[in-house]
Amino acid sequence: MNISIDMKETEAGIKAKLAGEIDAYTAPKVRDELLQHAEQSGIKIVVDLSDVNYMDSTGLGVFVGLFKTLKEHNGELVLKGMSDRLKRLFDITGLAMVMDVNTEVEGGV
């Protein structure tokens, strides 16, 4: 169970590339890295999940919390590059209807 997080600040916001598994073991690290930027007013965080091969409910919780924090501060969350498996997870839970999720990697910040 391993996760790598590559964060880059751009003029438009934060771009994060995650690789590995997001589960109960790695979710706190993901949450800490992403949430440190979420309270900036009006920030856009784009997360590339194309190299994430597994996510459990703990991982979903990280993105729900991040989404809520960003919304409270007029920010935006974009999840890009989801595999069909991850996209299905967001579809089944109904999160795809409230979050900006996409299987494409292009675009973003």
Model pLDDT for residues 61-104, shown as the tens digit of each residue: 999 999 999 999 999 999 999 999 999 999 999 999 999 998 77
Q: Is the pLDDT of residue 107 over 60?
A: no
**Residues in contact with 34: Cβ distance below 8 Å, sequence separation at least 6, in sequence order:** 14, 16, 45, 47, 62, 66
Q: What is the pTM of this model?
A: 0.91
What is the reported pLDDT for 50? Answer: 95
pLDDT at 103: 74
Domain boundaries, the chain: 3-101
Position 109 scores a pLDDT of: 46
Provide mean pLDDT across the span 28-32. 96
The class level of CATH for 3-101 reads: alpha beta
Q: Which residues of 44-73 are buried (b: 16+ CB within 10 A; e: fewer)?
A: bbbbbbbebeebeebbbebbbebbebbeee
What are the tens digits of pLDDT across the range 36-64?
Answer: 999 999 999 999 999 999 999 999 999 99
The reported pLDDT for the residue numbered 108 is: 46
